[in-house]
Structure 1
Amino acid sequence: MAMLFSAMCLQFCNPVTVMGNGRPAGSVVALPLEHVREREGTEIKVVSCRVVSQKVLPDMSRHAVLSAGASLWRSISCPSAELRLDLVLNCGQSFRWRETSEGHWTGVIAGRVWTLTQTQDRLWYWTYPSEPREERETETGADRVKTEPTGEGETQGVTNRREEKRGAERVNTEPTGEGEGITSYTEKKRRRGRELIKTEPMGEGEGEGEGAREVKTEEVSPQGEGSEQDRKEQAILRDYFQLSVSLGELYEQWSRADPHFKQVSETFTGVRILRQDPRECLFSFICTSNNHISRISGMVQRLCERLGEPLCQLDQTPYHQFPTLQALAAPGVEPLLRELGFGYRARFVTQSARQILEQQGPDWLESLRDVTLEEARLALRKLPGVGAKVADCVCLMSLDKAESVPVDTHVWQIARRDYASQLGAGHKSLTDRVYHDIGDHFRKLWGPYAGWAHSVLFCADLKKFQNLKAEEQVKKKGRKR
Structure 2
Amino acid sequence: MANKWFKLICKSSELQLLGTLNGGQSFRWKTCVQEGKDVWIGVFSDKVWILRQENDCIFYKVFGDTEGPQHNENNYNDILRNYFQLNLNLEEYYSEWSKSDKYFENAAKQFYGIRILKQDVIENIFSFICSSNNHISRISGMVEKLAKFYGKEICELNGEKYYSFPKVESLAQKSVEANLRTNGFGYRAKYISKSAELIVNEGGDQWVKCLLEMKYEEAKKTLMLLTGIGAKVADCICLMSLGHLQAIPVDTHIYQIAKRLYLPKLVENKTVTEKVYKEIGDHFRMLYGPLAGWAHTVLFCADLKKFQETPDTKEVSGNKKKKLKSKK
Cα distance in 2 between the residues matched to 1:436 and 1:420: 13
Cα distance in 1 between the residues matched to 2:28 and 2:256: 28
Alignment of 1:97 onto 2:29: yes
Aligned to 1:338: 181
Alignment of 1:444 onto 2:286: yes
Residue 26 of structure 2 aligns to which amino acid in structure 1?
Answer: S
- Which aligned pairs between 1:109-148 and structure 2 lie closer than 5 A? 109-130=44-65
8 Å Cα contact 1:131/1:311 also seen in 2: no
Can you list the C-alpha shifts for 1:182-220, whole angstroms capped at 9, x where unaligned? xxxxxxxxxxxxxxxxxxxxxxxxxxxxxxxxxxxxxxx
Cα distance in 2 between the residues matched to 1:288 and 1:80: 29
Deviation at 1:265, TM superposition (A): 0.5
Cα distance in 2 between the residues matched to 1:405 and 1:354: 28
Residue 377 of structure 1 aligns to which amino acid in structure 2?
Answer: K
* Residue 390 of structure 1, aligned match among 219, 233, 257: 233
Please tell me the root mean square deviation across aligned C-alpha atoms, in Å.
2.3
* Residue 243 of structure 1, aligned match among 75, 82, 86: 86
Deviation at 1:107, TM superposition (A): 1.2
Cα distance in 1 between the residues matched to 2:233 and 2:7: 34
- Which aligned pairs between 1:257-296 and structure 2 lie closer than 5 A? 257-296=100-139
Deviation at 1:417, TM superposition (A): 1.2
8 Å Cα contact 1:78/1:122 also seen in 2: yes
Deviation at 1:306, TM superposition (A): 1.2
Note the residue ranges of structure 1 that are not aligned, 5 or more in a row.
1-19, 22-63, 65-71, 133-225
8 Å Cα contact 1:333/1:350 also seen in 2: yes
Cα distance in 2 between the residues matched to 1:389 and 1:374: 13
- Which aligned pairs between 1:24-173 and structure 2 lie closer than 5 A? 72-101=4-33, 102-130=37-65
- Which aligned pairs between 1:354-365 and structure 2 lie closer than 5 A? 354-365=197-208
Alignment of 1:306 onto 2:149: yes
Residue 64 of structure 2 aligns to which amino acid in structure 1?
Answer: P
8 Å Cα contact 1:278/1:366 also seen in 2: no
Greater helix share, structure number: 2
Report sequence identity in percent.
46
8 Å Cα contact 2:168/2:204 also seen in 1: no
- Equivalent position SS for 2:270: coil
Cα distance in 2 between the residues matched to 1:383 and 1:331: 17
8 Å Cα contact 2:8/2:58 also seen in 1: yes
8 Å Cα contact 1:242/1:273 also seen in 2: yes
Deviation at 1:372, TM superposition (A): 0.9
**Runs of 4+ that moved beyond 3 A:** 129-132, 468-472
Cα distance in 1 between the residues matched to 2:185 and 2:284: 33
Residue 382 of structure 1 aligns to which amino acid in structure 2?
Answer: L
Deviation at 1:392, TM superposition (A): 0.3
Cα distance in 2 between the residues matched to 1:366 and 1:321: 20
8 Å Cα contact 1:257/1:446 also seen in 2: yes
Residue 264 of structure 2 aligns to which amino acid in structure 1?
Answer: S
Alignment of 1:466 onto 2:314: no
Residue 367 of structure 1 aligns to which amino acid in structure 2?
Answer: C
Q: TM-score scaled to structure 1, two decimals?
A: 0.62
Residues 393 and 227 of structure 1, relative CA distance in 2, 3 Å threshold: closer
Deviation at 1:129, TM superposition (A): 3.2
Residues 301 and 227 of structure 1, relative CA distance in 2, 3 Å threshold: closer
- Equivalent position SS for 2:196: helix
Deviation at 1:419, TM superposition (A): 2.1
Residues 464 and 237 of structure 1, relative CA distance in 2, 3 Å threshold: same
Cα distance in 1 between the residues matched to 2:174 and 2:290: 42
- Which aligned pairs between 1:216-235 and structure 2 lie closer than 5 A? 229-235=72-78
Cα distance in 1 between the residues matched to 2:32 and 2:318: 29
- Equivalent position SS for 2:32: strand
Residue 10 of structure 2 aligns to which amino acid in structure 1?
Answer: C
Aligned to 2:214: 371
Return the index of the structure with the highest Cα Rg. 1
Which of structures 1 and 2 has the larger relative contact order (alpha carbons within 8 angstroms, sep 6+)? 2
Cα distance in 2 between the residues matched to 1:339 and 1:359: 28
Deviation at 1:441, TM superposition (A): 0.4
Cα distance in 2 between the residues matched to 1:258 and 1:80: 23
Residues 228 and 360 of structure 1, relative CA distance in 2, 3 Å threshold: closer
Residue 98 of structure 1 aligns to which amino acid in structure 2?
Answer: K
Cα distance in 1 between the residues matched to 2:186 and 2:50: 32
Alignment of 1:416 onto 2:259: yes
Can you list the C-alpha shifts for 1:385-439, whole angstroms capped at 9, x where unaligned? 01000000000000000101100122100111122432x4422111111101100
- Equivalent position SS for 2:73: helix
Residue 30 of structure 2 aligns to which amino acid in structure 1?
Answer: R
Residue 287 of structure 2 aligns to which amino acid in structure 1?
Answer: L
Aligned to 1:181: none
Q: Number of residue pairs matched?
A: 315
- Equivalent position SS for 1:467: coil
Note the residue ranges of structure 2 that are not aligned, 5 or more in a row.
323-328
